[in-house]
Amino acid sequence: MATVDKQLENQEADDRTLVPIPCGNRKYMNVLERNILHSFFTSVLLYVNPLPLIRRLAERDQVSKECCNLIEAKSENSPYSFSYEILGNEIAKRMSLRSFVFVLFSLNFTQLANDLLGFYTEYTRTKCVPKVSRTNVGNRRAIQQYFKFIKKQVHEFTFKNPQADLSVIGARIKQRIELEKSDCKRQVMYDRYIALKAAEIDALTNRTDDIDPYGGAFADIEQVLDKSSNPSVSRVLLYGRKADVLSSLGRKEEGRGMLKEGFAYANATDTCLESVDMVYKSVVFRLSELEENPSSQLKEQLLAEASRGLHELNEEDEDVKIFWKRLFVLRMIYCHLGIGKRCKIFPNYEVTPQSLKEAERLFSLDSLNNLEHRRQMMYGVAKARLQELQGDTCMSSALDTLSRVMEIAIEGKYTEMPMIRQYLSCLSQRHQEF
């Protein structure tokens, strides 16, 4: 398919070619342009149905059919802002803001194009925007494989004391960095150090919610961010984890600020596993919000965000795809069945027949062979909840499943132990009454 700019080269020299938005040869939106488009969509077009525009864009291959199908599927039960958020992310990765204005003109959305131009002019005149330059993530395959490997080891319970063991390994890497004379090799080693520290944070959050989001491994990463090969990507790993910890501490507003910071850097880089990790942290954050305030709006937000994460995995290798897909699908099942971030069952949460059916469908997508230690526990809770909701005849199966889950939680000393114990006690009491 020809690029947008190429398609428009043959157009007559009218006002469409005089769009005052500099972009050079960029085929994507920088952070400023993303912010402008997001603000335009969520303010000027907040009450305008986005489907006519989205369908026309899809017809011209300016957005993917998958994006269009996802938005159409969610349109009945979601506010327009969700559709615009998905659309904005898709467009921003395909063309510059200037090219998008050209596309609007070419599709005869003339008033919309002029409104966007006026909004751009006013925005750049009055707003101070943080300068985050878009970067190419380069060949990060090796460090991404390392990050996945370490994260998998944590889930598999390879380390008896993962946080302490990873801390020791990190100290050794730090010593090697100090002895290394090659700047290039030092950068690679800092990348590994940051990935290791991110995994250390994950290992710690598996054991406790009482974590200082500005100390310990967080501070260790902060100190070396600018020495890594891609500081923007390193900040994505950092801010997503800060948001996760802050949500566990009940500091939701701070957490939302960290998510915003993380996505600013994630959107300023090409899609990579770190940006997928950021989307996953956002899904978990939304699950903690849903637990506090169950609503169909938050539920749809979470499911749309998880779908976005799954979509971004399309270009990854199969083993990487399976690893991350299981994370996203697990949280989607939790959302449908009313299970919180830490395995707490939502009190008085209505699980609709549609949600029950969707949870069953999601379970059927994967045989769940070779699940890591922690993931056995997490999926086990979901399985027990599904068995409970399938009726009293399945209650014995639910109890058996949850009893095994409790053994895993105790063995791993996971934070979810009290919630699982409470759920097991609740099911046991119901079974006795039955």
Domain with 114 in it: what CATH number?
1.10.533
Is residue 322, in this structure, part of any structural domain at all? no
Same-domain pairing of 296 and 414: no
Yes or no: say if 229 and 209 are a contact pair by the CB < 8 Å rule: no
Choose one of 126, 148, 175: the last residue of a domain: 126
Q: Is residue 321 part of a domain?
A: no
Residue 287 falls inside a structural domain: yes
The model's pTM is 0.67
Residue 315 resides in a domain: no
User: pLDDT tens, position by position, for the chain (434 residues)?
Assistant: 334 333 333 333 334 344 557 656 667 787 778 878 887 887 667 677 888 899 999 898 888 887 788 788 777 766 777 788 788 888 888 888 888 988 998 888 888 888 888 888 877 766 544 444 444 444 566 776 777 777 777 766 666 677 788 888 888 999 999 998 888 889 889 998 998 899 899 889 988 899 999 999 999 999 999 898 888 888 999 999 999 999 999 999 999 999 988 888 877 666 577 888 899 999 999 999 999 999 888 898 899 889 988 988 877 778 888 889 999 999 999 999 999 999 999 998 889 999 999 999 999 999 898 888 899 999 999 999 999 998 877 889 999 999 999 999 999 899 999 999 999 999 998 877 76
Same domain, 100 and 195: no
Let me know whether 103 and 250 are in one domain. no
Is 359 within the bounds of a domain? yes
Residues 335, 409 within the same domain: yes
Are residues 155 and 113 part of one domain? no
Are 22 and 90 part of one and the same domain?
A: yes
The residue range of the domain holding 412 is 328-434
Q: How many domains, in total, are found in the chain?
A: 3
Angle at 412 between CA 407 and CA 414, to 5 degrees: 95
Q: HSE-up of 105 (CA within 13 Å, CB side)?
A: 21
Gyration radius of the chain over CA positions: 23
Is the same domain home to 300 and 342? no
Q: What's the CA gap between 427 and 345, in Å, rounded? A: 11
On whether both 433 and 383 belong to a single domain, the answer is: yes
Residue 261 and residue 268 in contact, taking contact as beta carbons nearer than 8 Å = no
Final residue in a domain of this structure, among 126, 150, 182: 126
Do 268 and 349 belong to one domain?
no
Domain-terminating residue out of 72, 92, 126: 126
Residue 196 lies in a domain: yes
Residue 296 burial (CB < 10 Å; 0-12/13-18/19+)?
exposed
Within-domain flag for 134:
no
Q: Are residues 254 and 295 in the same domain?
A: yes
431 and 384 in one domain? yes
| Contact indicator for 282, 303 with CB cutoff of 8 Å | no
